[in-house]
Structures are given as structure tokens and as C-alpha cells.
Amino acid sequence: MTVADILHKINFEELIGTKFEDLISIEKLPKGTSIFYERFKKFNTYFLIKGKTQHIIYTPEGGEFYRDFFEGDIPGLSFSLSNRNTPERFRPFDVDVIVKEDSIIAYLPLEKTLDLEFKGKAAVLEKIITIGVEDHFKEFNHLLLKSIYSDEEFFIKYLENHKVLNIGTSKEISEHLNINLRTLQRLLKKLIEEKVIEKTGTKIFIKDQFKLDKYKKKFEK
């Protein structure tokens, strides 16, 4: 896949033929690679051409928040834009990026388009802002649901929204949903024993909607 192909795929055709093309770096990364923070800090944003990555966000209080990204995602944009004019000592969190599957990524320093002059710049900036806002909303929505509901209710709502979970091992699910691993294992065991859900390999799905509806009554106040 060429740089022009990537820009077409992510709907940034206006950047083809501009100096921005020279800033894009395509890399193949094996599973287990930790994308060096200084490199991510320099480029900020990337397009996940193939594979899966995981961001570990470290809070000032010492907590960790996990986000998984898949083929077609453009991670890091809202983080990049929010940090652009914020002194490093005032930034509220730090980020590590782990490659969870053999992946191909294209580093996209989209914030640098703010410093370039080219035809169609206004349209590009509008797209960048839209992507950043959408990504920020997804993260905020996830955090909001986590803060409102217990882990048990949050897991059930997530499963109902997605119908089937095929994320991987219990550890990977716990990271993806930001639920303590032991808490998740106990919850899965209970829901399977009560025949509410079924687990086949890495797939988890609702086995009996009637039983699930009955089970959810415990959350009603």
C-alpha cells in the first residue's frame, strides 16, 4: 500500500501531492513490540493498516486504562491535538503503545498539517477535528458507562450492544473492557453456570435472552 493509497483510504485526498506525504512513515511491527514513546510522541497519530494495537494510558493517580485499536482505526489524534499547546508538565496522562498482533502502521503526524499551506487545507482541518471529536466521544462514553454502572452491569450492557464478544482470552477481554481480571472471571463463570451466556473458544454470546432479562432485574432500583 502506497502513501497515496493510505490517504485515499482515510479520506484525506487533499493531502496527496503535498509536503505531508513526505512525513508519513510506514512500518511493519511484530507482535509484542512496544512502540517507543518518544517516537509516538513525535508522530502522535497513526493509521492501523493491519493488525491490532493497544494503548495503555497511565493516570496521575497510578491507574491504567486500556484501549484496543483495530484495522482501519486512526488512534492518538485526540491525544495529539489536546497536547499540542499544553506544556508537558501539565499533561494529565502518559501513554504506552503495545502491538498485540503482527501489524502494519502508517505514522500520520496530522497535527503538522496545521503548519502547512496547501489547497484544501480547510477541508483537511475539518476532517481532523471530526475524527478527533468522534474518538474523544467514544472514549468519554466508555468512561461514563464505567463510572455509572457496576462491572457486572457494564459487561452485560456491552455484550448486548455488541451481540458477540470475540476479543480473545479473558485477560484480553478484561483489558479491553477495563474490568479487573478476577472480577471478570467470576462473572463469566456465574453467567455460564446460569446458562445466560455461552463461551465457545474465544467467542462469548448471549445464550438465553429471557434468562438474561430476568437476571438484569437485580439491577433495577
Least confident of 45-49, 111-115, 172-176: 111-115
Mean per-residue pLDDT over the chain, rounded: 85
What is the C-alpha radius of gyration for the chain, rounded to an integer number of angstroms? 20
**Coil, helix or strand at residue 97:** strand
Q: Are 77 and 119 in contact (CB under 8 A)?
A: no
Confidence category of residue 90, pLDDT binned at 50, 70, 90: very low
pLDDT by residue (tens digit) across 12-69?
999 999 999 998 989 999 999 887 655 666 667 899 999 999 988 877 777 788 889 9
Q: Is the pLDDT of residue 82 over 80?
A: no
Q: Are 44 and 132 in contact (CB under 8 A)?
A: no
Confidence category of residue 99, pLDDT binned at 50, 70, 90: very high
- pTM for the structure as a whole: 0.76
Which among 113, 41, 100, 106 is positioned nearest to 73, based on CA atoms? Answer: 106
pLDDT at 181: 92
DSSP states along 118-157: -TTHHHHHHHHHHHHHHHHHHHHHHHHHHHHS-HHHHHHH
